[in-house]
Amino acid sequence: MKTKERLERLIFIAILVSLTVVLSYVDRQISFGLSHLGARIGLANIVILVGVYYLSVKESFILVTMKAILSGLLLGNYMAFFIGLSGSYFSYFAMLVLIRLGKDKFSFVGISIAGSIMHNIGQIVVLTLFYSVGITGALIWLIPLGIATGVVVGIIFTALKRYLDKGEVFPSITCKTNDPSQLLKDKLH
């Protein structure tokens, strides 16, 4: 990989990490009606889906890890960090498998819903370690909320993907033609 392409990928990942932290903060502010139920909209998952779809497994894993670390340290406490990390990894691996193995079989809304539900399950797994198995009862309302928020995130990602696939931003990463430079030349003529 050329130095310019490596630099572009690094900048793209840095922007995505920054967006996940900002959207996590915004999410905490606007999800006040859901937060007492232990739920949020999950706006940062829009960016995580971008990473899972456009980046390599290694790069997208770094994105998810950095989002969990920075959001946990900047916006929470140690408990929130472990809960968020667990939810992020459960969600990430579910979306990764569905995108890599079945993106032609599943819509991005469906993939987002699966990620949202798995995020909730990952959080509950950590909470059972600190509390009791009784906390799993929270899934009764977390799963329906996860479906609803997964639909919202999936619709937004689908619209964003249409724009990114044109290759107008970070064309060596997002352009869906064989030659990103040709796409840019075509646009100039």
Question: What pLDDT score was predicted for residue 83?
Answer: 85
- Write the pLDDT tens digit of every residue in 34-82: 555 556 778 899 999 999 999 999 999 999 999 999 988 887 778 888 8
pLDDT of residue 60: 96
Q: Please report the pLDDT score of residue 20 as a whole number.
A: 93
Q: Cβ contacts of residue 183 below 8 Å, gap of 6+?
A: 166, 167, 171, 175, 177
Residues of the chain short of pLDDT 50, as ranges, are: 179-180, 182-189
Rounded CA-CA distance 1/100 in Å is 22
Question: In Å, what is the CA distance from 20 to each residue of 14, 47, 75, 138?
Answer: 10, 6, 12, 25
Q: Which residues of 27-54 are buried (b: 16+ CB within 10 A; e: fewer)?
A: bbeebeebeeebbbbbbbbbbbbbbbbb
Q: How far apart are CA 99 and CA 96, in angstroms?
A: 5
- pLDDT of 148 reads 92
Between CA 111 and CA 103 the distance in angstroms is: 8
